Amino acid sequence: MSQVDIGGKAAVRREAVAEGYIRLRSETIERVVGGHVEKGDPITISKLVGLMAAKQTPILLPLCHNIQLDHVELTIWIDEEKQRIGVRSKVSAHAKTGVEMEALTSVTVTLLNIWDMVKQYEKDDRGHYPQTLIESVRIVSKMKEAPQ
């Protein structure tokens, strides 16, 4: 077991954008929109969590290279019609390897944090989460500049 050897590669600008969604009960979405979540504002707090998660990726994924990130940008939106919250993370770095794992980790941990902040409103009478679902986590774009 080992990391991929990137020693011979040139550091170039790299960017990845990932997104995903969490489905929630309509009542929970209303609480988020209205600012009535007991633990605080899940949108604001989760943006910070997503930023921190991108930076912690090599700790969570031990074969992932430790990359100095140039920029992490989190966007979170509410889709009331589909009863879900969307998360998008754009990560960039000048590095020898891509930043897809950082973007995916950022989105996934952000979604988990939203779940944690609203879970008390999502539970049924048995303590289960019949409507709560994290879905469609994926890379939507990636870019690598040509070496100069």
pLDDT tens track for 94-128: 988 889 999 999 999 999 999 999 999 999 999 99
Question: 22-60 burial by CB neighbour count: b if 16+ within 10 A, else e?
Answer: bbbbeebbebbeeeebeeeebbebbbebbbebbbebbee
Q: What is the mean pLDDT of the chain?
A: 94
Quick check: is 116 catalytic?
Answer: yes
Q: Which of 5, 41, 79, 116 is catalytic?
A: 116
Comparing C-alpha atoms, which of 103, 84, 101 is closest to residue 28?
A: 84
Kindly give the residue spans of alpha helices, DSSP state H, lying in 9-130: 26-34, 42-55, 57-60, 100-122
Token pair of 113 as six digits? 């944090």
Residue 148: what residue type? Q
Q: What is the pTM of this model?
A: 0.94
Q: pLDDT of 30-88, one tens digit each? A: 999 999 999 999 999 999 999 999 999 999 999 988 999 999 999 999 998 999 999 99
Average pLDDT over residues 14-29: 97
Q: Where are the domains of the chain?
A: 17-144
User: What CATH number belongs to 17-144?
Assistant: 3.30.70.640
